[in-house]
Structure 1
């Protein structure tokens, strides 16, 4: 039997999956690492921690593997997007990585709009200037850490730095690079115009490759540290959301991903490079060659539920918290929640807005609040689906992954609020499975990613929207959409009172 490994470099942990040619996950190992938060709005990590924990995970996997390490043919990657890793002339790290959820760059985002009009930025990069993206981080370093900026030989994205440490080769793939604001998404190349406008030497941008492209083999040193075979092939991999799409079979028109983790994502397959959403949703290169995807983001999806549990139900596990929520009627007995705990991304790119419970009553129980939170998260995700449909996209099949795919009540709620068929898969590995599939395709096991998906991805249950519920949720969604505008000014005025 032959095997491949998928390495999913997340924000809180690295997950390593070993999968055989049948698509069966034979081994899964996860290793956590910490965030570094020096002050409010800052979010960094030490890239050496990624390397250390990945090495530990792979060593443990090989030790537990009952076959010959030579049977593990390939490795590929999924990685957190937008993070900025800087290396010098000898490829030494120049500072900690600045992550996707770092919000220190509001000023730099405005500078981008001042130098490049919003219309021109969307024409080239297909995306607005947001604090999480890579270019604003580069500009922040340029302004505040000039001595470091002048030493930059390459900037890398998180999984690209990890792959460099495994292979000694520096590259970036299209799906991850599309989130930097330095790529011409339609032309699939670093944008000369963007680099010139911001005085960024294009030589610091890594060579671009396809996600399934063969990069090389692991180094002898890394083979010795982990026990992997020295000639194990390494493939580029992709952005976490692109890999999540691959690992969920979002590889043709009409198919959409609903990923609910700490944040939430609605991602829809797109063949055209020319569709215009006016920057209301993200538009990136897919991990599948010559394809794209559109994406909306809810910043505090699962985080909203985690927050409520931590503050109001610390001694309950999530199963207890969600138990009997199906007995609470649609609309949570007149209670609506907006999940803006850390601001919002889609459709409101607003770092100041904060969450609300609207309609609280002394008769409400804890279960009413939990139901309202689930509905509020799903309403927020539905904002992205609403934008897609308004722009003529067909959304008829939605595949859930993450925490939102584990609860029956929540899955039916998604079918009713999204007014779409929900297809639950046997495996919910998402990005990790996408990395595995890129390695399997790169190794030549399959002629296409679609063929790979036919073997690796298995639907096990379908949830259909219930007409009566759909109508109730449409009325509630209309109310939900008013809360942002009604509370925006209040939250701006409260901002100075926050810690």
Structure 2
């Protein structure tokens, strides 16, 4: 049996899947690495930690009992988006990587909007300037660490640096390049206009290519260190959201993915149509060549529920807490929650936004609060779903992944609030599966990425909306949306006391 390996370079650790030609997970391995928060808002990692731990998971898989290593035919990657890895002329990191969740660049984000003009940024990049993107990080280093910036020969994103260290091949795929705010999505080239306006030299931008591009084979020393064959083909791979979508089969019109992890994502396949949404949604290149996806983000989705548990229900098991909402009626007996505990992204790009419980009274129980948190998270994701549909992008199927797909209660809640059938996956493995599908296609096992996904992705039973709950949520949703407008000025004013 032949195998491929999908690697997901996440924020907290790296995960690798060994997948056979039938799409079955034959083995998996994971390793963690630290995040450094040296100052408030800073979030950094050492690129060498990524390389070391990626080699470690490859070694674990290659040394699996009864595995003929020669049958490992391909490797591909998924990676955390937007991070900045600056390399010198020797292709060595000049500093620790600045991650997607680093928020030090508020000033640089405003500078981009003012210098280039917000509407022009939308026209070129299809996205809003946000702290998480790569360009503001480049400008921060240029301003605050000019000596480092002067030595910069090229920048890469996290997975691309790891791939370089495994293959010696420098470059970035389109799905990650689109998240830098430097790519002109109209022609899929680096935007000389944006770069010149911001004072960033074009020559620090790496070559750009499709996620499915073959990037050579493993370096001999990497093969010796990991036990993987030196002739193993290595493919570019994609951004974690693009790969997550591939791993959920979101490669056809009408398919939409709802991912509830620490953050929440509502992502829909956009085909080859290029557009922007006046900054209300993200719009990025997909892993399939010349295709795109639109995406809304709730910053604190599962994080809101985890925060509530850690703060108020420490002694309760997570599954037990979720089960407690079964007897709570739709609407949590008049209690609303907005999940803005870490600011918000979609549809309110507002770092000052903060969460609220509205409608509390003495009759409310802990279970009411838990359900209100779950409803608030799902309402927030429905705002993204509505923007998608209001812009003419039909949503036929919602595939649920992440923590929001692990319980019948939350699947039902999504179906009731979205007013659509929600389907989970039998073999959900997240972005690592998407990376594996890219490798399977790259190795020639399938004629298209879509065919590979259809073979590898196995859906479960669907959960249909309960009509009486749908009616309740249709009445509550406008009230939920009104909370942000009513509390916006108050939460911004409160920021001085935090």
- TM-score, normalized by length of structure 2? 0.99
Shift of 1:303: 0.6
What is residue 139 of structure 2 aligned with on the other side? 139
What is residue 190 of structure 2 aligned with on the other side? 190
CA distance in 2, matches of 1:111, 1:385: 30
What is residue 479 of structure 1 aligned with on the other side? 479
Count of aligned pairs between the two proteins: 498
CA distance in 1, matches of 2:273, 2:184: 11
**Cα displacement string for residues 212-247 of structure 1 (whole angstroms, at most 9, x for unaligned residues):** 110011111111111111111100000000001111
CA distance in 2, matches of 1:455, 1:403: 24
**Cα displacement string for residues 323-374 of structure 1 (whole angstroms, at most 9, x for unaligned residues):** 2312110011111111111100000001111111111111111111110111
Does the CA contact (< 8 Å) of 1:85 and 1:156 recur in 2?
yes
Matched, 1:319 2:316: no
**Cα displacement string for residues 234-276 of structure 1 (whole angstroms, at most 9, x for unaligned residues):** 0000000000111101011110011111101000000243334
What is residue 127 of structure 2 aligned with on the other side? 127
What is residue 211 of structure 2 aligned with on the other side? 211
| SS in structure 2 at match of 1:324 | helix
What is residue 411 of structure 1 aligned with on the other side? 411
What is residue 379 of structure 2 aligned with on the other side? 379
CA distance in 1, matches of 2:65, 2:384: 42
What is residue 288 of structure 1 aligned with on the other side? 288
| SS in structure 2 at match of 1:179 | helix
CA distance in 2, matches of 1:182, 1:482: 35
In the superposition, relative to structure 1, how do residues 65 and 133 fare at CA in structure 2: closer, same or farther (>3 Å)?
farther
What is residue 37 of structure 1 aligned with on the other side? 37
CA distance in 2, matches of 1:46, 1:148: 16
CA distance in 1, matches of 2:127, 2:47: 27
Does the CA contact (< 8 Å) of 1:186 and 1:273 recur in 2?
no
Q: How does 1:168-187 map to 2 (within 5 A)?
A: 168-187=168-187
What is residue 494 of structure 1 aligned with on the other side? 494
Does the CA contact (< 8 Å) of 2:247 and 2:434 recur in 1?
yes
CA distance in 1, matches of 2:92, 2:450: 39
Q: Provide structure 2 residue ranges, at least 5 long, that are not aligned to the other structure.
A: none
What is residue 255 of structure 2 aligned with on the other side? 255
Does the CA contact (< 8 Å) of 1:257 and 1:400 recur in 2?
yes
Matched, 1:103 2:103: yes
Q: Larger deviation: 314-323 or 217-226?
A: 314-323
Q: How does 1:37-436 map to 2 (within 5 A)?
A: 37-436=37-436
**Cα displacement string for residues 165-206 of structure 1 (whole angstroms, at most 9, x for unaligned residues):** 111111100001000010011211111111221222211111
What is residue 440 of structure 1 aligned with on the other side? 440
| SS in structure 2 at match of 1:277 | coil
Does the CA contact (< 8 Å) of 2:323 and 2:409 recur in 1?
no
CA distance in 1, matches of 2:11, 2:67: 31
Does the CA contact (< 8 Å) of 1:401 and 1:429 recur in 2?
no
Q: Provide structure 1 residue ranges, at least 5 long, that are not aligned to the other structure.
A: none
**Cα displacement string for residues 256-300 of structure 1 (whole angstroms, at most 9, x for unaligned residues):** 011111101000000243334111100001001111000000000
Shift of 1:142: 0.5
In the superposition, relative to structure 1, how do residues 470 and 21 fare at CA in structure 2: closer, same or farther (>3 Å)?
same
CA distance in 1, matches of 2:428, 2:337: 27
Does the CA contact (< 8 Å) of 2:135 and 2:182 recur in 1?
yes
Does the CA contact (< 8 Å) of 2:123 and 2:276 recur in 1?
no
Q: Larger deviation: 140-149 or 456-465?
A: 456-465
Does the CA contact (< 8 Å) of 2:245 and 2:251 recur in 1?
yes
Q: Larger deviation: 415-424 or 73-82?
A: 415-424
Q: Larger deviation: 369-378 or 269-278?
A: 269-278
CA distance in 1, matches of 2:489, 2:115: 28
Shift of 1:377: 0.5
CA distance in 2, matches of 1:61, 1:274: 40
Shift of 1:65: 4.3
Does the CA contact (< 8 Å) of 1:339 and 1:380 recur in 2?
yes
Does the CA contact (< 8 Å) of 1:45 and 1:99 recur in 2?
yes
What is residue 17 of structure 2 aligned with on the other side? 17
CA distance in 2, matches of 1:340, 1:153: 39
| SS in structure 2 at match of 1:64 | coil
Does the CA contact (< 8 Å) of 2:173 and 2:238 recur in 1?
yes
Shift of 1:62: 1.5
| SS in structure 2 at match of 1:178 | helix
Shift of 1:311: 1.1
**Cα displacement string for residues 89-130 of structure 1 (whole angstroms, at most 9, x for unaligned residues):** 001110111111111111001110111111110110000100
